[in-house]
Chain A
């Protein structure tokens, strides 16, 4: 039974009708009088020195108002992780991948801007390029960034337990190599930015960002102006999945040109630019060695992971760290040695994407577990259950897992897919598989990850919520409003929310690491509580009861023990006002996940996240052994997300994430040839259409996390960790071939089947 009124309800998103009627405004939907349109000239070479940029042709073209190249901008590097800043807003001196930004123009029309770009002449001195990270690590490889002579820009080496000893004690040792592909996030809205500058020089930037406050900082850095001179407003954002975490040239250029021309400036990317010049999931090369005891205990694992970072760092150190730590959940891995390398290549840039560094290694682990199970004669489900981590257990890396429904997700997912009846029992060509995972609900071991919120109660009972949280379509604004409504005992429609405007709303780290509901939700809940307590104080005084005995529910404030005794919210506000207390009633909340200092993640371990979610995905597939095509017949997703504040939105998160994972397993790959993306379009890059989608069953596994607001944890991001291995394991069950690289295309299935026949 749901003891809550608003929390736990299947409420439609607050902005759903705006989106259904075309009223919702995304960045490119905005325009300002006198606005100029911008375009960026990109490098056609994977690696080259810029000798000279001749802008004169563009500058002379009709309609063109300004043109710039790298030498015109402040020489300030930016990056998402402060210690890994390695990028200029426009390339200075050197380009490092095909699509790197070289110059930009603004003109009175987009036509003019597009035409002007072709009139810029650039002299390059081509440099030898390197496209394979393993090659790039070798001595003598072309150096992509002078500061990083071996091209390895981030590393991690962690050992927990005693790996050597554990391998010596193992009854069986398994060694495999895995490879994963580059995947593009494909938000339907291409990146966009619109900037305006006022008389004082203050820049206002509307941007398709999922991380406004970080963008403010990075933009101020690149423009070389104080942060206080930058205001970021996030309009509706058409999906992000991690790709809208970074600052892009479009943000910088819009602002820089607005400063230069004193006119509003808009930059919008083409779909091709989204593919070539934003971010993608890092391809990884993974060597995995696992030591097992006869009884099925995982004794030790050893990893060597090489991530192909492309030309710049973006989140490199964080990504490789996440990969390391999330090997140690959801299974008990007492002895682990993890060596991770983020390597520069002359290719599109890797960045955060749904799961952030973890899906790749999770694929390796989960695929290997199934082959281990087979060789050891253990059921893959039993093997997982045996090693499943449990709440409260001491963790070798000191993660503090207070709630954990992993075993439950395994059992329920297995049941729902029909594991007992089907695994190993279906006819050749059909099979089932499953895979588990765990994900943080926000990261605590980093600086700057507090969320703030303000709740105002006005004279007429209107409730205004200010939050910095960045809703990019996942429904953050709705969920946080639900939390506030619950806390104040009002209905959802009474909450008016203003979000993600760095000038108006309190600080928030933004949408990444799946921390929004927990972090911003907690901040908003605290703010609501503070406002409520102020109101309670006045009401208690009037009613001559103790404030702590009061409760707010159903738009009333009353005595908990005697619900008859109370008054409506409006009356309560009147009481507050007439007791000469200052209006409006304001509650402020700040929340920082409990963390250990110092907070340099790469050097210190400790509890990584305030809470961890757990999940199992199961798949049933049919392999057409003639054409090699794999059809997913059914997907099951069992997810422990703590308490679902809004089950409908949670389901939506899970379903979308599962289909994304399917894409990664079967259809999607950003293919490059000598650094050039061969398939920068939806025709050639296989994002799943409605036709690919099988029935998806979500199984709820609710736990109540003590740290999350109303017990809520992450949902939707972790879900993308294990659909791919679940499908790969189902294919293994179907045809007896275990694939070590993704995606499993029909061509590869046929090759594998042929090889198998020959044996």
Chain B
């Protein structure tokens, strides 16, 4: 069954004709060409497909596209504002929190949602928040550091 869906992604409006049984992950990657959102397990267990919907982390592989019409969808491509990288993006790059980079988009978006909710989380809270975003390269150490470094900065300002 096909339907016309209206989506609001990264500040842009899209109107697409697509199969109703396609997940948001599939529509982002296949219909909108937003391949920054990754498919790691397709069953909601790895977090690589995390996107923000109205600012909150969602597993796009378990989200029906029709279900997010009218909501604000943010993917990794939409995180930088007016050409300015988000501090998390910078921190991840500079602190060595990125190795293969496959978990990175989901990881950064999850971290952003956390910091928007709680700008000064404890290390434990950071770990818990990203615990559904699996990473096999880094051992998470530098990822946690990168996220905490951003909270430090915001406390200074």
Contacts and interface: CB of A to CB of B under 8 A. Distances in A.
Interface of A: 10, 12-13, 15-26, 28-29, 31, 111, 185-190, 236-239, 241, 268, 270-271, 472-475, 648-649, 651-652, 655-660, 681-683, 687, 689-691, 693, 696
A22 B37 contact: yes
B137 interface: yes
Nearest to A25: B35
B131 interface: yes
B134 A652 contact: no
Nearest to A15: B101
A700 to B, nearest CB: 15
Interface of B: 19, 29-30, 34-43, 45-46, 48, 75-77, 79-80, 85, 89-90, 92-96, 98-105, 108, 126-128, 130-144
Nearest to B92: A20
Nearest to A657: B139
A270 B101 contact: no
Nearest to A647: B96
Interface centre among B19, B92, B104 (most CB of A within 10 A): B104
Nearest to A695: B141
Nearest to B105: A22
Contacts of B104: 19-20
4 residue pairs, one from A and one from B, having the closest CB atoms: A22-B36, A473-B100, A19-B101, A238-B102
Contacts of B94: 12, 16
A10 B75 CA distance: 29
Given A22-B75, A190-B39, A238-B38, 12 more contacts: A17-B89, A19-B93, A187-B100, A188-B38, A188-B135, A188-B136, A474-B137, A651-B96, A655-B139, A681-B41, A696-B139, A696-B141
A369 B139 CA distance: 28
A186 B90 CA distance: 27
Classify the secondary structure of B's interface with A.
loop
A693 B139 contact: yes
Nearest to A237: B100
Contacts of B92: 16, 20
Nearest to B100: A473
A703 B104 CA distance: 33
Contacts of B132: 689
A656 B130 contact: no
A358 B101 CA distance: 28
Contacts of B102: 26, 187-189, 238-239, 473
B139 A16 contact: no
B81 to A, nearest CB: 12
A239 B71 CA distance: 33
A185 to B, nearest CB: 7
B114 to A, nearest CB: 12
A268 B89 CA distance: 28
Given A271-B40, A656-B139, A660-B136, A690 B130 contact: yes
A683 B139 CA distance: 18
A649 B94 CA distance: 11
A10 B96 contact: yes
Interface centre among B36, B43, B77, B132 (most CB of A within 10 A): B36
A372 to B, nearest CB: 31
B101 A473 contact: yes
B73 to A, nearest CB: 13
B74 to A, nearest CB: 11
Contacts of A187: 100, 102, 136
Given A20-B108, A22-B34, A691 B131 contact: yes
10 contacts: A13-B96, A20-B93, A21-B80, A268-B39, A473-B102, A474-B99, A648-B96, A652-B96, A655-B139, A690-B130
A652 B144 contact: no
Given A16-B98, A271-B41, A271-B43, A658 B139 contact: yes
A188 B75 CA distance: 18
A652 B137 contact: yes
B139 A189 contact: no
Contacts of A657: 139
A19 B99 CA distance: 9
A190 B61 CA distance: 15
A12 B94 CA distance: 5
A16 B46 CA distance: 21
Given A16-B93, A691-B131, A696-B141, A22 B35 contact: yes
Nearest to B131: A689
Contact of A12 (B96, B105, B108): B96
Given A25-B35, A681-B43, A13 B98 contact: yes
Interface centre among A10, A16, A472 (most CB of B within 10 A): A16
Nearest to B108: A20
A17 B141 CA distance: 19
B15 to A, nearest CB: 21
Nearest to B41: A271
Contact of A189 (B34, B35, B40, B105): B40
A682 B41 contact: yes
B76 A22 contact: yes
Contacts of B77: 21-23
B75 A693 contact: no
Given A681-B45, A696-B139, A696-B141, A21 B100 contact: no
